[in-house]
Structure 1
Amino acid sequence: MNRQSFIEPKNDIISLQSAFLRSKSLESRKTLGQFFTGSVVSDYMASLVVKPKSNTVRILDAGAGTGILTASTALHCLGMGCRTVHAVLYELDCEAVVSLEQTLKIVQNKFCKQLGTFTYEICCEDFVLARPDKKENIQPFDISVINPPYFKYSAKDSPYAKAVADLYHGDPNIYASFMAVVMASMKAGGQMVTITPRSFTNGLYFKGFREYLLTESALSLIHIFKHRDKVFNNDDSSVLQENIICYLVKGSNTNTITVRSSDCDISINHADEKQYPVHLIVDSSNNQRLIRIPESACAAVILQKAETFKTTFEDAGYFISTGRVVEHRTRQYITKETRTKNTVPLYRPHNVTPLTATWTGNHRKDVSFSLNEDHDKHMIKNGTYVLLKRFSSKDEKQRLVASVHLAKMHYCEWIGFGNKTNYIGVLGGELSTIEAYGLAAVLNSSFMDKYFRCISGNTQVNATEIRVMKFPSRDQVKEIGEQAQKLMLFETAKIDLIVNPVLGVVDLI
């Protein structure tokens, strides 16, 4: 089938999607968690599918929108020689169903012209709550190419958590529930292609989901996007997470995982590609099963080097905790008065700068914490800690920003760390000044920052990922600290000159 024969129906399908997008406000789409897939991305996702062996290919679309993904997938199947295709499509937004049916009619006509048969059924209901895998007399599916909705829900009171409790436990995002139910609906050897945020690849909230997904299927390919706002037809750039396309096969095994990387949809068909052993991408050394994604060959070398470290952050003897002060719950304690006897410094993200933490009380954002009744449950004993920002801004070059807080900086019994910072110390002991500077230097180094980016794709630094990161030994940290504490001014290049020789990574950065 020539390329021109595909272009004509796809143009009509794209027009239907564009018209629907114009008819819906951005706010109404956000309410439903809708981020619409563009034509280039939908065609690319469909192209990852290999020809099923079934006589009648069954396609499942779990969040159909106006049907562009099913259209791309069905037409791709037709191009591979699949003459009989049946699609089951779920779409909760009843306003989209008219455009969806028009799209499917276009596909149906295309099949007829090629002497094929395309049939479909539309289910205007909530896919996760409907649980098609549990319905009687429904055959499992061969293919599912999906762009699921995106919004968070609570594991305590959301019906979605109850609906997927037999598959996995956790408090993640609705897109993970869509992926889990789709996987449960697939036949052995069934192919699932998804475009989602990268967040499920790490983090405690997605631990149960990762275990389910990686047990039920083989992750064969990951395509990473570096710019979320250039992937979806949503006229919205407020969602900052990186996005990935994943190709998974149910009940299968693989020894390698292909990683592709592109900036946006325009360059999607010219992505950099590399194959890696599964153990490098899926960390099986702990119960988190983090999925690490090196964006380049250089990042892969850094990841491989980090894997040679003999210990992890936690096993080296360090702890990391999130600051105890949640400001919106403790407003009665927080004051701009910074010079009174009954207050102690409260460290916020702006106080955490590379290598040295600074709180003078003179900065416009500096605040104190009043030692009123029950203050102790929000405070920790003043001591020497390393502070690590939990969130980095878009314009910061470093994802990891760490600084040293010395006990002698403030002559007070208690100290306050906000929950937008992490604080680090030694398990069962006191952190020395030298070791604190060593820890801060390691975390601020280019090597560790690039290693962390392989683990996490968003701007949040969670304690869970830090705990299981491969890490230098305490002796190495102290060796680095001996030199780092002499630095009068932070410069990444100077930090790297100290850290890299000790870690044996001089030629990698």
Structure 2
Amino acid sequence: MLEQLQISDPMEEIIGLQSDFLGSRSMEVRKTLGQFFTGSIVSDYMASLINKPKSRTVHILDAGAGTGILTASTALRCLGLGCKTVHAVLYELDSKAIPNLEQSLVIVQNAFSAQRCTFSFEIRCEDFVLARPDKDESIQAFDVSVINPPYFKYSAKDSPYAKVAADLYYGDPNIYASFSAIVMACMKDGGQMVTITPRSFTNGLYFKGFRSYLLTESALDLIHIFKHRDKVFKNDNSAVLQENIICRFVKSSAKQTVTVRSSDCDASINNAVQEQYSLELIIDSSNDQRIIRIPESAYEANILRKAETFSTTFEGAGYFISTGRVVEHRTRQYITEKTGLPNSVPLYRPHNVTPLIATWTGGHKKEVSFMLNDGHEKHTMKNGTFVLLKRFSSKDEKRRLVAGVHLAKDHECELIGFGNKTNYIGLSSGKLTKTEAYGLAAIFNSSFMDRYFRCISGNTQVNATEIRIMKFPTREQVKKIGKQAQKLKTVKTSDIDLIVNPVLGVMGTI
């Protein structure tokens, strides 16, 4: 039994234990384990989202405990809510973290004892996902779980994690999905799960099965988003590029509204801007993707509502979107920096795509050609008029959507190459005219569409899946916009908006 420690501020000592551990472990080792540790401001805030459980003895599950800061915050939150008996089961794979974890939990025990309450704990030094505690009948279902699961991708073919949660959902998108799904399976009806994870699960084909499982098994009733992605893990020197969100799920519950909060990740987190929206606005039930849409403000919610009034979708309007066929690291033998060679065609890269216009002159230092050597047919395509849309962006960039028109007449060649870091857009049946292409490009470059896309996608990629199902103007509206857009002398967002907004009827929205 560890010696009981007497302290006046439990969290201060626990934060110190976490800092000591972080100082003893290299960033390389922590990245291998997918460890991104939660700071005290975030852990206390996440715990504050817990409502008082009804159980006489509250059972807490921590699926990746680290040094115990989340369990400490959660247990102390329960104590503050009047819960007199709390038992925690904690999983931690990293044996080096166990001594600091034990000390943290003893500190929590002392805080409970000081108020004549009881806190007990059980540490399991094993892999939570592979252990599948939801299948262990000897383990009682849990009331509360506040987790910051590890983040990393794994091989769907030969990783021990592959298909380990296949009975819960289809796919192998990321280890954090496995953690979250198995935690939910461990909860009792009415149990509360609060997570901090990348936003990537809210949309996209890879997370479709996981998303469906969570939204079927539980009610998503609160989302907290951060205005800056690099400020979430302040106690960690790692650069977390993913946009992270906090969510609260309640198992076997039905909610008709969702609360959305927004803040920076500092002391202002407790004074977040808060709005409440209908479930229908947040979860798109118009298709089988069940995308979770997150308006950052009431302003963006109005944009989302307006987009919902559009009579069709991008795909429904008759357009297609595909990813460029050239994967450069797999086709290096075809690519040459010498432009204008016989038997070669332009290869479009992201730098070639600018608002409204996609250009390849052969004179830019980044421009390359694609040689039409044997086997090129899998990578090239017939030259035509398309709209090119950049695939990669970030929340912190000024724009998420950048689209430019590629005209067939710009190059006297039968074939063309588009890199896989761009999407290309055309008509599902027929060929795009110059006018319609400019209409499409103008819509994607408009403030309205950019804001709308931010609501439905938190990924750093602009995925074709989201574009296909997003609400969209009709072809008649696209052509009307294109007639004016192709006459623009300068390309400014404000000028594009003056053309797009009246046609879409969104003058009062932007």
The reply to whether TM is greater than 0.5 is: yes
1:42 aligned partner = 43
Q: What is the identity, as a one-letter code, of the residue corresponding to 2:134? A: D
Write the distance in 2 (CA, Å) between the matches of 1:299 and 1:213.
Answer: 25
TM-score, scaled relative to structure 1: 0.97
Q: Is the CA contact 2:243–2:395 (under 8 Å) kept in the aligned structure 1? A: no
Distance 1:413 1:260, change over 3 A: same
Q: Is the CA contact 1:35–1:233 (under 8 Å) kept in the aligned structure 2? A: no
Matched, 1:215 2:204: no
Matched, 1:189 2:190: yes
Write the distance in 2 (CA, Å) between the matches of 1:265 and 1:190.
Answer: 28
Q: Is the CA contact 1:62–1:91 (under 8 Å) kept in the aligned structure 2? A: yes
2:152 aligned partner = 151
Between the two proteins, the alignment pairs up a number of residues equal to: 505
Q: Deviations over 1:5-34 (max 9, x none)?
A: 996111111111111111111111111111
Distance 1:94 1:237, change over 3 A: closer
Q: Deviations over 1:72-108 (max 9, x none)?
A: 1111111111111110000011100000000000011
Distance 1:176 1:6, change over 3 A: farther
1:364 aligned partner = 365
Q: Deviations over 1:158-194 (max 9, x none)?
A: 2222210111112311111110000000001100000
Identity %: 76
Q: Is the CA contact 2:163–2:171 (under 8 Å) kept in the aligned structure 1? A: no
Distance 1:396 1:108, change over 3 A: closer
Write the distance in 2 (CA, Å) between the matches of 1:370 and 1:47.
Answer: 60
Q: What is the identity, as a one-letter code, of the residue corresponding to 2:236? A: D
1:199 aligned partner = 200
Q: What is the identity, as a one-letter code, of the residue corresponding to 1:112? A: S
Q: What is the identity, as a one-letter code, of the residue corresponding to 1:64? A: A
Correspondences of 1:181-330 after superposition (within 5 Å): 181-236=182-237, 238-330=239-331
1:487 is paired with a residue whose SS is coil
2:131 aligned partner = 130
Q: CA deviation at 1:112?
A: 1.1
1:204 is paired with a residue whose SS is coil
1:454 aligned partner = 455
2:3 aligned partner = none
Q: Is the CA contact 1:226–1:242 (under 8 Å) kept in the aligned structure 2? A: no
Write the distance in 2 (CA, Å) between the matches of 1:311 and 1:6.
Answer: 62
Write the distance in 2 (CA, Å) between the matches of 1:506 and 1:395.
Answer: 25
Q: CA deviation at 1:229?
A: 2.2
Write the distance in 1 (CA, Å) between the matches of 2:171 and 2:80.
Answer: 40
Q: What is the identity, as a one-letter code, of the residue corresponding to 1:16? A: L
2:169 aligned partner = 168
Write the distance in 2 (CA, Å) between the matches of 1:498 and 1:438.
Answer: 10
Write the distance in 2 (CA, Å) between the matches of 1:179 and 1:393.
Answer: 25
Distance 1:236 1:337, change over 3 A: same
Write the distance in 2 (CA, Å) between the matches of 1:257 and 1:125.
Answer: 35
Q: Deviations over 1:183-226 (max 9, x none)?
A: 00000110000011111001111000000000000000000012
1:30 aligned partner = 31
Q: Is the CA contact 1:6–1:75 (under 8 Å) kept in the aligned structure 2? A: no
Write the distance in 2 (CA, Å) between the matches of 1:236 and 1:207.
Answer: 32
Q: Is the CA contact 1:226–1:243 (under 8 Å) kept in the aligned structure 2? A: no
Q: Is the CA contact 1:240–1:458 (under 8 Å) kept in the aligned structure 2? A: no
Q: What is the identity, as a one-letter code, of the residue corresponding to 2:313? A: T
Correspondences of 1:19-98 after superposition (within 5 Å): 19-98=20-99
Matched, 1:355 2:365: no
Unaligned runs of 5+ in 2: 1-5
1:338 aligned partner = 339
Write the distance in 2 (CA, Å) between the matches of 1:448 and 1:376.
Answer: 34
Q: CA deviation at 1:70?
A: 0.3
Correspondences of 1:362-401 after superposition (within 5 Å): 362-392=363-393, 396-401=397-402
Q: CA deviation at 1:154?
A: 2.6
Q: CA deviation at 1:237?
A: 5.3
Q: Is the CA contact 2:39–2:235 (under 8 Å) kept in the aligned structure 1? A: no
Q: CA deviation at 1:157?
A: 2.4
Write the distance in 1 (CA, Å) between the matches of 2:236 and 2:256.
Answer: 39
2:482 aligned partner = 481
Matched, 1:422 2:420: no
Q: CA deviation at 1:62?
A: 0.4
Write the distance in 2 (CA, Å) between the matches of 1:115 and 1:197.
Answer: 39
Q: CA deviation at 1:233?
A: 4.0
Write the distance in 2 (CA, Å) between the matches of 1:6 and 1:248.
Answer: 34
Write the distance in 1 (CA, Å) between the matches of 2:62 and 2:218.
Answer: 18
Q: Deviations over 1:298-332 (max 9, x none)?
A: 00000010001010101110000000000000000
Q: What is the identity, as a one-letter code, of the residue corresponding to 1:484? A: A
Write the distance in 2 (CA, Å) between the matches of 1:14 and 1:217.
Answer: 32
Q: Is the CA contact 2:42–2:265 (under 8 Å) kept in the aligned structure 1? A: no
Structure 1 moving runs of 4+ over 6 Å = none
Q: Is the CA contact 1:228–1:237 (under 8 Å) kept in the aligned structure 2? A: no
Q: Is the CA contact 1:227–1:263 (under 8 Å) kept in the aligned structure 2? A: yes
Write the distance in 2 (CA, Å) between the matches of 1:394 and 1:288.
Answer: 22
Correspondences of 1:107-118 after superposition (within 5 Å): 107-118=108-119
Q: CA deviation at 1:429?
A: 1.1
Matched, 1:104 2:77: no
Q: CA deviation at 1:484?
A: 0.4
Distance 1:141 1:53, change over 3 A: same
Q: Is the CA contact 1:389–1:402 (under 8 Å) kept in the aligned structure 2? A: yes
| Higher mean C-alpha deviation, range 266-275 or range 229-238 | 229-238
Distance 1:437 1:61, change over 3 A: same
Q: Is the CA contact 1:35–1:234 (under 8 Å) kept in the aligned structure 2? A: no
